[in-house]
Structures are given as structure tokens and as C-alpha cells.
Structure 1
Amino acid sequence: MTNVAIIRCEKNMDRCPLTNCFRCLMEKKEGFAIYEDCILSGVFTCRCPGDVAVNLSKILKTKGADVIHFCTCTFAEKTNEGWIAKDGGFCENIDNIIERVHKETGTPCVKGTAHLPKDYTIKTWD
């Protein structure tokens, strides 16, 4: 079983209780469809400008996280037509943050949770 952690963006924490992220994780859909079996091992909120992401990830790793997912809202935007990645989400540096987390912790990272944009291919850092 894969222990999955989630890091979300502070800019969305007052609007989103992560309901669909948790639902997709439990049902192994959207960003979590890559797992045969998975369980939530922890959740943290990243704060701008993302300097805390590495330390948060180190804590998640010590708590058993095998992989860290970064919420879709960090790179995609909700529109009337659904979620799109074209104009970006809440974090303009998300790829750099994920790269740093992966390099400094050695933990695999995945960009995406629920609400994946149409035709989006899950990006992973292994």
C-alpha cells in the first residue's frame, strides 16, 4: 500500500476543505489513479513563497509518506468550463518547488490530485 501525503496551497485553504482530493484518493481516481492501493499519511499547507515546502516534506517523510502530491489548484485554475492549466493556478513556482522537494528529500512527487484539467498528463518526479 502506498502512503500518500498531500501539500496544498495557503491561497485556497479558506475555500477548499480538500473533500474531492480525499475522495479521489480513496477511490483511486484522477491524480491517484496511478496507485493500486493507497492511504493518506498526512496533509500540510504550503505558504508563499514556498520556502517551507522542503521542511514540510521532510516531516511527511518521517511520518511514513512514500509519495507527496501537490494539489491541482497550485497549477490549474477553475473556470466555467472546468479546470484548465493554461493560465496557471495559485503558485507560479510550483514546478521549482516540487523539484526542490524531490531533490532535497528523495521523495517521489506528483503534480495533481483532484479536478485534473482535461487532457492533463500526470507529471511525476521519481
Structure 2
Amino acid sequence: MTIKAGLIRCQQTEDYCPATTCFTNAREGKGGLEETGPVEIIALNTCGGCSGKKAISRAMTMKERGAEIIIFASCILRGTPGYIDYKCPFGKKLKKLVEEKTSLEVIEWTH
């Protein structure tokens, strides 16, 4: 049985990153999902822009719609794709708040 996941990405990266590597790694259980195994992404949204507070309500909605875990795309906590290399200054706090408010595990990266 495949785990259902909600994927949250940085709004600042959506102009140049189509999230294809995030989707591939989720489907194949690679990168940050090696321990979890393959997951089905049932929802995709951004953090809402800096400071990312919309990520919390969006993760809660994802849970209401069936997400069993939340995945932060690598652009949030790793600052990838590599040519950008800018980690979200609010990322760790967002992860903690999303976990507290949803009671779901947050995977920190995809690739």
C-alpha cells in the first residue's frame, strides 16, 4: 500500500523549477524518501511565500484530504536546485509547526 503525501515547495522557486525531480523521487522512493519508500503525491502547493506561514494551513488541508505524510521539497530546507543554494530561513520552524499542527511526519527533502 502506497503512502499518500502532500508536497510543499518554496514559492520563490516555482518560476524555474517544475518539481519533476521531486515527483520522480517520490514515485521511486529515492533521495529523502529512501526510508519511506515510494509515495503517491496527492497534493502540491507552495509555502505561500515568505515567511511561509501558509504552509501550515495548507498542510492541514492536505491532511484533511488524505495526506498521511508531508514532504518539504528540497528547495525549502536544502536550498536546491544547486544553482540557487538558498535555504529558507523559516524552514526549520515551519517543519516544527507543520508537525505540531498536523501530527504528521514531515520529510525534509526530496533530492
* TM-score in terms of structure 2 length: 0.88
1:26 and 2:23 are equivalent in the alignment: no
Distance 1:37-1:28 versus aligned 2 partners, 3 A rule: closer
Match of 1:62 in 2: 64
1:102 and 2:103 are equivalent in the alignment: no
Whether the aligned pair in 1 keeps the contact of 2:52 and 2:94 (CA below 8 Å) is yes
* TM-score in terms of structure 1 length: 0.78
TM-superposed deviation, 1:76: 2.2
**Relative to total residues, which structure has the larger strand share, 1 or 2?**
1
Higher relative contact order (CA 8 A, sep 6+): 2
- Unpaired runs of at least 5, structure 2: none
Aligned pairs, how many? 107
**Structure whose CA Rg is larger:** 1
Runs of 4+ in 1 over 6 A off after TM superposition: none
CA RMSD, Structure 1 to Structure 2 (Å): 1.6
Q: Secondary structure at the match of 1:65?
A: coil
Deviations, residues 39-81 of structure 1 (Å, cap 9, x unaligned): 11111111211111110011100111000011111122415xx
